[in-house]
Amino acid sequence: MYCEKRITNPDGERREGNCEIEHVVPKSADPTRIFDWTNLAMSCRPEQRSPGGCGDSKANNPLPIGCDPRDIRAADLVVTTSSNGMLLPSIDGCEKAGIDPQLLKQAIDMLRLNRDSLKRARKVILDEIRASIRKITLNGEQALELDMSDIVRKNLQPDKHGHLVSFWTTYRCGYKHWAEDYIAENEHIIQ
């Protein structure tokens, strides 16, 4: 729901023990929504030797206005990933989506989306993307364009169950204009 870690295996089945039900509007804020399925989402479970997952970090706090991930289209790039794996609000993306970047920054902080384990995972992805681009570039610009469109499609399209790859936004940020071209052409399949 929040950090983009996969909670299903390649067969589309939920992995045991790595997620929990999250009340997006906290139970304490609106007890009438405890069993409202539109208020329920899956969130990562606390990591071992870590002070908690995203839902635990949010605790009983409501998300800032406009920052419910369920209301943000995947095609809207409202966050960017820095080279060290840190999530930051995208000023342009937030403006296009009608989201206050300061409120989005508050949501990122509240959910601890920049905890060390998540930053490390994002940085590994970005480092791998940079290395593959360097390798492909050795074969020339034309090879780069052909190979990148295929690589981007493989990493950004939903799997057969409609699930996106873990840290999809990080891949998107790493692939830059290639990702944006793919998303513009395939927005209808990206949820």
Domain residue extents for the chain: 19-189
pLDDT at position 121: 95
pLDDT at position 144: 74
Sign of CA dihedral 137, 88, 101, 97: positive
Q: Which residues contact 80 (CB under 8 A, 6 or more apart)?
A: 87, 88, 89, 90, 93, 173
What the block records as the tokens of 154 is 């493989």
pLDDT at position 18: 72
pLDDT at position 11: 80
pLDDT at position 1: 81
What the block records as the tokens of 146 is 């052909």
Nearest CA to 127 among 168, 174, 88, 61? 174
Residue 98 phi/psi, 5° resolution? 75, 35
Tens-binned pLDDT, residue by residue, of the chain (191 aa): 888 888 777 787 777 777 788 888 888 889 999 999 999 988 877 655 555 678 778 888 889 999 998 899 888 999 999 999 999 999 999 999 999 999 999 999 999 999 999 999 999 999 999 998 888 888 777 777 778 888 999 999 998 888 889 999 999 999 999 999 999 999 888 86
Instruction: Tell me if 156 sits within 8 A of 190, measured CB to CB.
Output: yes
To the nearest 10°, report the CA torsion of 138, 86, 58, 67: -80
pLDDT at position 146: 73
CA distance 1 to 13: 16
Question: What DSSP state is assigned to residue 8?
Answer: B
Q: Which residues contact 90 (CB under 8 A, 6 or more apart)?
A: 77, 78, 79, 80, 101
Other CB atoms within a 10 A radius of the CB of residue 134 amount to: 10
